[in-house]
Homo-oligomer: A and B are copies of this chain.
């Protein structure tokens, strides 16, 4: 009879092992052994039943906090990223979140706005909150962290950090060859903002492929993004300026889909038709890419996959498994309406 014990489930008292123990007239350790099925303990089934029933009745959840103090993992990780808001990151996080949820892990999200001191401090602050590992996205990691770390789409030369990256060489090949094969030769190349970790790698890969194809890269047709934002405004001024000074071009390779939207908008405002007058190629394949008018041709970056791959890698790392330093994922060319064969009249 549980009713004979003096402690009614007072609303105010936190349900702890100790509470359960008093309630059942047992010691906390016994409860712990039962609930964790600790092997090598002889406890009769009758007692086990009593304990489990009480735990269910009071909806007892063990405090991860106290458990962590014992050196157990908190089943929690920290996600480090440059900025919140729409776009790129949210897709990656979506992939991470689904996998972690499945594994019973929780996560913190922290944004650092590219500030090195924040990037450096966050791991310790997260550690103080009990996280087991760090998943960084698009972040320049310079100092090694006290925690196991996996980096998605960033750049680092830290030995102990596993890096999940897109195959930039292949991505560049897909994009440049696509437009080349459609007959385009006067191509605008767009370079990302300097703080984006992809900018440098993608640019080098793109230039490399252009050289291989014997495609001339006109200095005057390079647009460099500078605005720190995730809205299409980032590319509008650059393309607008190009049009103003009557630059000759028939295609634009954009840094991402968002800048492709800004590009199309700028061309549209200047009465150029996409793709009849100018072809525009995006990058990323964000959700709205296929619903633009015109719909975006783009290089799909498997963002969700990169997220889940990174999370999976971190789980492995936490389980002390060996991991490659680099995990590469493959891009894919998605052809829609914003790119078209060069028309004779524009040659």
Residues of A within 8 A of B (CB): 59, 61-66, 68-69, 74, 76, 84-87, 90-91, 93-94, 97-98, 101, 106-111, 124-130, 230-233, 236, 258, 261-262, 264-265, 268, 286-288, 290-293, 295
Contacts and interface: CB of A to CB of B under 8 A. Distances in A.
Contacts of A111: 97, 101
Contacts of A287: 85-87, 230-232
Contact of A288 (B94, B258, B293): B258
A178 to B, nearest CB: 22
A262 B291 CA distance: 6
B232 A288 contact: yes
Contact of A128 (B61, B84, B85, B232): B61
Nearest to A262: B291
A78 B260 CA distance: 35
Contacts of A261: 288, 291-292
Contacts of A291: 231-233, 236, 261-262, 265
B86 A286 contact: yes
A128 B90 contact: no
A284 to B, nearest CB: 11
Given A64-B130, A109-B107, A127-B61, A264 B293 contact: yes
A90 B97 contact: no
A119 to B, nearest CB: 14
A65 B129 contact: yes
B86 A90 contact: yes
A84 B74 contact: no
B110 A108 contact: no
27 contacts: A65-B65, A66-B69, A84-B94, A86-B86, A86-B90, A86-B91, A86-B286, A97-B109, A101-B110, A101-B111, A106-B108, A106-B125, A106-B126, A107-B109, A108-B108, A109-B109, A130-B130, A232-B288, A232-B291, A233-B291, A261-B288, A261-B291, A261-B292, A265-B291, A265-B293, A288-B288, A292-B292
A68 B66 CA distance: 9
Contacts of A290: 231-232
B106 A129 contact: yes
A98 B84 CA distance: 9
B74 A85 contact: no
Contacts of A101: 110-111
Contacts of A124: 59, 61
Contact of A62 (B128, B232, B262): B128
A69 to B, nearest CB: 6
A64 to B, nearest CB: 5
